[in-house]
Amino acid sequence: MYNPDIHHRRSIRLKEYDYSSEGLYFVTICSHEHKCVFGEIIDDNIILNRCGNIIDKEWKSLPQHFPNIVCHEYIIMPNHIHGIIQIEERIQGGPTPPLRKTTLGNILAYYKYRTTKQLDQRIPLWQRNYYEHIIRNQQSYEEIAAYIVENPVHWKRDKLYKD
């Protein structure tokens, strides 16, 4: 029974889209409560701390766990990470297909789990969800890639900026 006084989470994903589909995805994952826990911006460069170095290492290792993905441009900011993930259709295993397709949600859930475990967090490290955008053409890819690379330069104007 519907109760309007109870908060119901609304999905921000496209209802009919298959997030295991081959393609490029721009993702943003924010730290819990947007706390600046990954490092700081000094002279327009990100200086990662221990936590930032661990999330960097885990991002780079994602293709080892998911052999059908490629991690393109990414940037770790003080309280979030932007990255482009490409899912490729590759047949894995022997004569039988894999039991489950790799979805964007699986990839990011695994990433959040691994980073939290590596840091031995007893408090939340990540916000509950993530933002994604399906990259549909080369121009969009180039604009997003430039945005990612230039993100530290624009930190003080970023909507996620915290002093």
Say if CB 145 and CB 83 are below 8 A apart: no
Q: Which CATH architecture has domain 23-157?
A: 2-Layer Sandwich (3.30)
Say if CB 48 and CB 58 are below 8 A apart: no
pLDDT digits (tens, 9 = 90+) for 136-149: 999 999 999 999 99
pLDDT at 7: 44
pLDDT digits (tens, 9 = 90+) for 86-103: 999 865 555 555 556 789
Cβ partners under 8 Å of residue 48, min gap 6: 38, 39, 56, 76
pLDDT at 2: 42
Higher pLDDT, 17 or 161: 161
Which sequence spans correspond to the domains of the chain? 23-157
Q: Helix, strand, coil: what percent of the chain each, to 5? A: 35, 25, 45
- Using a cut of 0.95, tell me whether the model's pTM lies above it: no
Point out which residues pair with 153 in neighbouring strands.
none
pLDDT at 12: 54
